[in-house]
């Protein structure tokens, strides 16, 4: 756990797992996808969860009340990577889409923005340098400059200009900026709602958008001293320092996440 302990936090990882096991029926685990369950890749479509992850998530879902993946990816992408999981909920596009009990629910306020997002993606492909990977996600557009970091300033300037013209939101990330509809939805809001009736929750994240999820755990602890929340960062060379500073503990990679969960499940 972090060196500076909050009053209701046990001083070691082993004790944190023990507390969690004691509250298993009222515990939820939340995970980001990219950089947490899967290594980050130059081509977003090539990302796959590390081999051990699907199995360990399924075992975790059998042990606690709920397991959910909260990602910037669309639900359709997450389902393609976790087709074998029966007990894991999927939140796509920062919570604008939700897969729960065999059905997808889309935030109604975001649906009218689909044509504008499609048009924006085509404009980005035409106006930005060809090295920029434009990812159209139906309800958002991500502009990846991982393979051309020298173009970061140009991409960010273009993105902010488009956001201002069309009234869009911008989400920064690891070598990417994403333009989203002006709908009030983010990972922090997903976690705030998701822990409303929980006594314990863990969130694993690696990027700037995940800090809002960490903050949601802190906020719940502030109003309910009996609630136990654990914020876990996964190290990376781009945003790792800021995310780790906001977390209780840091793991080195998605492979280590799988090992950490496997070891933790021995507590149940």
Q: CA-to-CA distance for 70 and 123, rounded, in angstroms?
A: 28
Which is the catalytic residue, given 32, 34, 186, 207? 32
Q: Where are the beta strands (DSSP E) in 52-168?
A: 66-70, 88-92, 97-100, 103-106, 133-136, 141-144
- The answer to whether the beta carbons of residues 235 and 245 sit under 8 Å apart is no
Instruction: State the fold for domain 110-180.
Output: Alpha-Beta Plaits (3.30.70)
In order, the DSSP letters of 142-160 are EEE-TT-GGGHHHHHHHHH
Say if residues 200 and 20 touch (Cβ distance below 8 Å).
Answer: yes
* Long-range pairs, 74-77, Cβ under 8 A, ≥24: 74/137, 74/138, 74/139, 75/99, 75/104
**Average pLDDT score, the chain:** 93
Q: Helix crossing, 187-194 with 208-223: angle to 10°?
A: 30
Q: How far is CA 257 from CA 159, 169, 186, 205, in A?
A: 33, 31, 23, 11
Beta strands across the sheet bearing 228-234: 103-106, 97-100, 88-92, 66-70, 27-31, 200-205, 228-234, 249-251
| CB-CB contact of 227 with 221 (8 Å) | yes
What is the spatial distance between Cα 143 and Cα 173, in angstroms, rounded to a whole number? 10
Does the annotation count 32 as an active-site position? yes
Give me 56's structure tokens: 């360990």
Beta bridge partners of 239: none
Fold assignment, 15-28+48-63+185-267: Rossmann fold (3.40.50)
Pairing mode of beta strands 200-205, 27-31? parallel
Task: Please list the pLDDT of the chain residue by residue as tens digits (268 residues).
Answer: 544 445 556 678 999 999 999 999 999 999 999 999 999 988 888 999 999 999 999 999 999 999 999 999 999 999 999 988 889 999 999 999 998 778 889 999 999 999 999 999 999 999 999 999 999 999 999 999 999 999 999 999 999 999 999 999 999 888 999 999 999 899 999 999 999 999 999 999 999 999 999 999 999 999 998 999 999 999 998 888 999 999 999 999 999 999 999 999 999 9
The predicted structure's pLDDT at residue 8:
55
pTM (predicted TM-score): 0.89
List the chain domain ranges. Answer: 15-28+48-63+185-267, 110-180
Give the per-residue pLDDT at 84. 87
């Amino acid at each position: 756990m972090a060196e500076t302990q909050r009053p209701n936090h046990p001083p070691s990882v082993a004790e944190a797992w023990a507390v969690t096991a004691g509250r298993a029926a009222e515990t939820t685990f939340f995970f980001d996808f990219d950089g947490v369950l899967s290594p980050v890749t130059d081509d977003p479509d090539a990302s796959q969860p590390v081999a051990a992850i699907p199995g360990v998530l399924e075992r975790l879902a059998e042990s606690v009340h709920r397991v959910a993946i909260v990602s910037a990816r669309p639900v359709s992408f997450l389902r393609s990577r976790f087709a074998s999981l029966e007990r894991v909920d999927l939140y796509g596009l920062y919570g604008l889409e939700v897969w729960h009990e065999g059905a997808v629910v889309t935030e109604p306020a975001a649906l009218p923005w689909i044509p504008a997002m499609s048009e924006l993606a085509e404009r980005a492909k035409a106006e930005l340098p060809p090295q920029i990977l434009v990812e159209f996600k139906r309800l958002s557009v991500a502009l990846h400059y991982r393979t051309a970091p020298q173009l970061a300033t140009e991409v960010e300037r273009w993105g902010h200009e488009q956001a201002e013209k069309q009234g869009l939101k911008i989400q920064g990330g690891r070598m990417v900026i994403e333009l989203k509809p002006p709908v009030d939805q983010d990972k922090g809001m997903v976690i705030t709602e998701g822990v409303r009736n929980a006594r314990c929750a863990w969130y694993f994240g690696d990027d700037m958008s995940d800090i809002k999820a960490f903050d949601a755990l802190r906020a719940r602890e502030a109003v309910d001293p009996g609630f136990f929340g654990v914020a876990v960062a996964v190290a990376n060379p781009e945003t790792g320092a800021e995310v780790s500073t906001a977390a209780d503990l840091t793991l080195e990679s998605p492979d280590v996440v799988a090992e950490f969960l496997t070891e933790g499940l021995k507590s149940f």
